[in-house]
Amino acid sequence: MFYKDWYAKLFGFGRVVPVIRGWGVYQKCMNFCLEKIDTGGWVHLFVEGKVNMDHRLLKLKWGAARLILDAKIPPIVLPMWHIGMDDFLPNRPPYIPQIGKKITLVVGNPMDVKNELKKLKEMNFTRVEIRKRITDLIEKELRAVRLQCEEMHHKLHNSR
């Protein structure tokens, strides 16, 4: 939720959909994201559910897995991790971009979980169990991408 009108306008240009923490995976904004996916659109999710201030991989939320499970055609997941964005644009006031900071972004391999979904459904897993398994798959891949990003960032920016 955006607490100031100008935040809503700014983030609206970036196609950001506000998610209310604690309202669960079936809130209106998640249904809106599902509609986007079902009509061939894309959504960008921050699967940790909040701004990560201390750079640890936090426990992932189940929202992405809910969208994958409920989509007419399961979308491709594109895991990514970045380092240095908060050096460029601090997470605390004053929110002033810092020119010249180093940012590293690693985009992992596309994940097609269609076969895994099919297998879990055939094994009669519950919807909650399927969401948990899919979330675990995404988390495993995200950990690998994070490690790549950390190694690349260190190699590119600390070896000079």
Q: What mean pLDDT value characterizes the chain?
A: 90
- Give the other-Cβ count within 10 Å of 34's Cβ: 20
pLDDT tens digit string along 51-64? Answer: 778 888 788 889 99
Query: Greater confidence, 158 or 76?
Result: 76
Q: Which two tokens stand for residue 48?
A: 């940790």
pLDDT tens digit string along 23-71? Answer: 889 999 999 999 999 999 999 888 887 777 888 878 888 999 999 999 9
The residues that bridge with 105 in the sheet, in sequence order, are 82
For the chain, give percent helix, strand, coil, nearest 5: 45, 5, 50
Q: What is the pTM of this model?
A: 0.86
Q: Do residues 56 and 142 touch, judged by C-beta distance below 8 A?
A: no
In order, the DSSP letters of 96-119 are: ---TT---EEEE---B--HHHHHH
For the chain, percent of residues with pLDDT exceeding 70: 98
Query: Greater confidence, 21 or 43?
Result: 43
pLDDT tens digit string along 82-124? Answer: 999 999 999 888 889 999 999 999 999 999 999 999 999 999 9
Question: Which residues are CB-contacts of 143 (< 8 A; sequence separation ≥ 6)?
Answer: 57
For residue 145, the model assigns a pLDDT of 97
Is pLDDT of 160 > 60? Answer: no
